[in-house]
Amino acid sequence: MHRIFSYLTSNLQFLPDLFFPNCCIACGDELIPGEKQVCLSCLLSIPETHYEVVPQDNPVMDLFIGKTWITGAIAIYEYQKGGALQALVHALKYNNQPELGVLLGRFMGTKLQQGNIPLSEIQVILPIPLHPIRQRRRGYNQAERLATGIQQVTGIPVKPKLLTRIRATKTQTAKGKEERWNNVRNIFKIQGNIPQPCLLVDDIITTGATLEACMECLNAAGIRDIWVISLGTARISRGMTEVPKN
């Protein structure tokens, strides 16, 4: 018993995960009844972009205009380094938190309902696929979890199998523009008929290169009425050429 106690006290940093699962994923504070996974003050600390009000005229949409057929694109939250959203996205991707994805997806769905994307017309939600090997390692696709949350709020069906990834990509961070584009070309494949308009779901939009490659694949199959929604973006002003890595 003494040995177990000394082991635990020498590994104090792991104690919260072991004994206090009802803590906020972002700040570690204890959750109060009614809160799930994230505390209210962390949620309120994440700035909203309000791009859902202007889905065809915002800095995220600017990334794609003139490059691909697209109807509109938005991100819900501002992604700030060291902010609560960064902690949440990290937990979603690396700490086995699939339920957190569904929760954040529900917030996205609620924001969508308050915005100007014609939801009643949208036929299908398509999460941006992960490469199968990465998905197996992670246990789930975080974009698919977000999409499930959006489905729960809006009732629009999620069809994750219509769009697949046939090639993995290396990390985008250190690459130049052209190299980044070559890195993401021809990595997606369509399996079956995709009805229009469709809604693509991603977690964080940085350069937009992966989404652009995805839309190029859809465009080639005649799908042009495409809406894009992501949980967050660092792209909050127009004319930014580079954005911080996530």
For residue 217, the minimal CB distance to Zn ion (Å) is: 38
Based on CB atoms, which residue is closest to Zn ion, 91 or 190?
Answer: 91
Tell me which residues touch Zn ion (CB under 5 A).
24, 26-27, 39, 42
CB under 8 Å to 211, separation ≥6 — which residues?
64, 73, 128, 200, 202, 205, 228
Nearer to Zn ion, 45 or 56 (CB): 45
194/173 Cα distance (integer angstroms): 31
Q: Measured between alpha carbons, how far is residue 171 from residues 175, 203, 217, 237 in Å?
A: 8, 16, 21, 24
Q: Which is nearer to Zn ion, 26 or 234 (CB)?
A: 26
Please say which residue, 40 or 133, places its beta carbon nearer to Zn ion: 40
Closer residue to Zn ion in complex, CB, 1/44: 44
User: Which residues have CB under 8 Å from 203's CB, separation 6+?
Assistant: 89, 92, 93, 142, 143, 146, 230, 231, 232
List beta partners, residue 158: 125
Min dist. Cβ of residue 25 to Zn ion (A):
7
Question: CB of 82: closest distance to Zn ion in angstroms?
Answer: 14
Q: How far is the CB of 14 from Zn ion (least distance, A)?
A: 19
Considering the complex, what minimum distance in angstroms separates the CB of residue 29 from Zn ion?
A: 5
Length of the chain: 246
Rounded least distance, CB 79 to Zn ion, Å: 17
Indicate the residue among 24 and 117 with the shorter CB distance to Zn ion. 24
